[in-house]
């Protein structure tokens, strides 16, 4: 199998114990990568860390930073990989079946970035769209690209 997914596979994965393990492994690997990027590398590049827990706090009106961290972790570890497997990848297979895995992962990451910084931050929390395209906006895009790539490649590796 190449990194272009052209073999005849079902559009949606079959629910199984292995799939659940794949979701959690992909989510953990991607979330750890995101956290290293957001908290260790981004401050060196733009002078401040990415703070998704603060966004969660503003969206839901939480006072607790810990609640924001927990919700962001659960979303990243569980729900985003499910979104890849049941929404993003099936759409890619239907619309662009010869798209390389690398571009599928980047596309997924871009979709997550749009969801985070336009839908959640702007439409729900009332912040400027994409935070006004400040340097943190672009650091967030790179972090979401890394997240999308890790999820895509972990899923690909586990399904080989």
Domain for residue 4, yes or no? no
Domain for residue 9, yes or no? no
Domain for residue 6, yes or no? no
Domain for residue 52, yes or no? yes
Would you tell me the crossing angle of helices 52-60 and 65-74 to the nearest 10 degrees?
Answer: 110
What domain range includes position 140?
Answer: 17-159
Q: Whole-model pTM?
A: 0.93
Domain for residue 12, yes or no? no
**Model confidence over 104-139: pLDDT tens digits?**
999 999 999 999 999 999 999 999 999 999 999 999
Q: What is the count of structural domains for the chain?
A: 1
pLDDT in tens, the chain (160 residues): 456 555 567 899 999 999 999 999 999 999 999 999 999 999 999 999 999 999 999 888 989 999 999 999 999 999 999 999 999 999 999 999 999 999 999 999 999 999 999 999 999 999 999 999 999 999 999 999 999 999 999 999 999 9
């Amino acid at each position: 199998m190449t990194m272009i997914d052209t073999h005849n596979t079902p559009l949606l994965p079959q629910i199984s114990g292995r799939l659940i393990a794949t979701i959690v492994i992909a989510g953990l690997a991607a979330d750890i990568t995101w956290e290293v990027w957001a908290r260790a590398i981004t401050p060196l590049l733009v002078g401040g860390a990415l703070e998704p827990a603060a966004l969660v706090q503003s969206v839901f009106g939480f006072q607790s930073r810990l609640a924001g961290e927990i919700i962001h972790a659960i979303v990243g570890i569980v729900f985003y990989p499910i979104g890849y497997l049941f929404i993003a990848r099936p759409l890619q297979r239907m619309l662009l079946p010869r798209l390389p895995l690398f571009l599928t992962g980047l596309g997924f990451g871009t979709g997550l970035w749009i969801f985070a910084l336009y839908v959640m931050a702007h439409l729900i929390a009332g912040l400027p769209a994409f935070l006004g395209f400040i340097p943190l906006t672009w650091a967030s895009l790179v972090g979401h690209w890394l997240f999308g790539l890790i999820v895509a490649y972990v899923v690909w590796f586990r399904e080989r």
